[in-house]
Structure 1
Amino acid sequence: MNKPLKFNIFHPDCPARLFFEKFADKWILLIVYTLDQESQHFNELKKNILGISPKVLSQKLKILERDGFLTRTIHEDNVIRVEYALTEIGKDFVQNAYLMKDWVEANMGKVLKSRQGFDQRQEQAESV
């Protein structure tokens, strides 16, 4: 019987650090939030995620597919269309990502207020 692998994100060689590097990305999060609603075609994703370029969307979808977070299904009708959907691990990830989203939305006002106060103090200190 194989022992489960142990990972320590505080170790510099831990592959979990690469996960944080990729999955803390705003576009990755927006893609998984969007796909959590329903599977979508490339152009639907591009339309629903305002501001993302086709190149970046394509790159991020490949990352998610490679790491097993989504599936890519090719439908050949009159036109070849590719549909993207979350896998089980992708659905599990997005549920945890919602916790961060909810925290950010609930606390962003405090963060902005803190930034404003900090900036004002910095300006006062520089003008002295």
Structure 2
Amino acid sequence: MTEPLDPDMFDPVCPSRLVPLRFGDKWAGMVVRCLEGGPRRFSELRVPLRGVTAKALTKSLRGLERDGYVVRNAHGRRVEYALTPLGRSLLGPLNALCEWAEDHWDEMLDAREAADVR
């Protein structure tokens, strides 16, 4: 059994929301990060992704599955999502991108604030 996901995994002020490169959609990188520790049920994924609607999460999971990053496993009525080997290969680049975002957090926020003022 995997440990429960941290509800504050993606705090609203977390740099993960500012990562400039996205694959799939807004939630894809965060879904991959949630699946890093092992298979998860849909309801488990919604805990740290508290801003996602069921429709948007379904769309994101289907897109990740279509692209070969995630596999959907049905065990009777229980459905879990897990990273494929291809999906796991994204973890290194995703870690590097998150580290970059943390290093440039203030610059990105300043740029966004300046653009919003204009």
TM-score > 0.5 by shorter chain: yes
Instruction: Count matched residues.
Output: 98
**What amino acid is aligned across from residue 35 of structure 1 in structure 2?**
L
Coordinate RMSD, CA, aligned = 2.3
* Higher RCO (C-alpha 8 Å, min separation 6): 2
Shift of 1:72: 0.6
| Structure 2 SS opposite 1:37 | coil
For residues 24-79 of structure 1, the C-alpha deviation after alignment (integer angstroms, 9 at most, x for no partner) is 63201110011112210011011221201000100110111111101111012xxx
1:20-39 paired onto structure 2 within 5 Å: 23=23, 25-39=25-39
Query: Please, what TM-score do these two structures have when normalized by structure 2?
Result: 0.71
**What amino acid is aligned across from residue 93 of structure 1 in structure 2?**
L
Identity, % of aligned pairs? 34
CA contact under 8 A between 2:22 and 2:29: conserved in structure 1?
no
| Structure 1 SS opposite 2:73 | strand
- Alpha-carbon distance between aligned partners in 1 of 2:113 and 2:26, rounded to the nearest angstrom: 23
| Structure 2 SS opposite 1:50 | coil
- Alpha-carbon distance between aligned partners in 2 of 1:63 and 1:82, rounded to the nearest angstrom: 17
Unpaired runs of 5+ residues, structure 1, are: 1-20, 123-128
Task: Answer yes or no: is 1:103 the counterpart of 2:117.
Answer: no
Give the 3 Å change call, closer, same or farther, for CA 107–22 of structure 1 in structure 2: closer
Larger Rg: 1
Task: Answer yes or no: is 1:88 the counterpart of 2:62.
Answer: no
- Alpha-carbon distance between aligned partners in 2 of 1:86 and 1:37, rounded to the nearest angstrom: 9
Give the 3 Å change call, closer, same or farther, for CA 114–36 of structure 1 in structure 2: same
- Alpha-carbon distance between aligned partners in 2 of 1:73 and 1:119, rounded to the nearest angstrom: 43
Query: Please, what TM-score do these two structures have when normalized by structure 1?
Result: 0.66
- Alpha-carbon distance between aligned partners in 2 of 1:92 and 1:54, rounded to the nearest angstrom: 26
Other-structure match for 2:64: 64
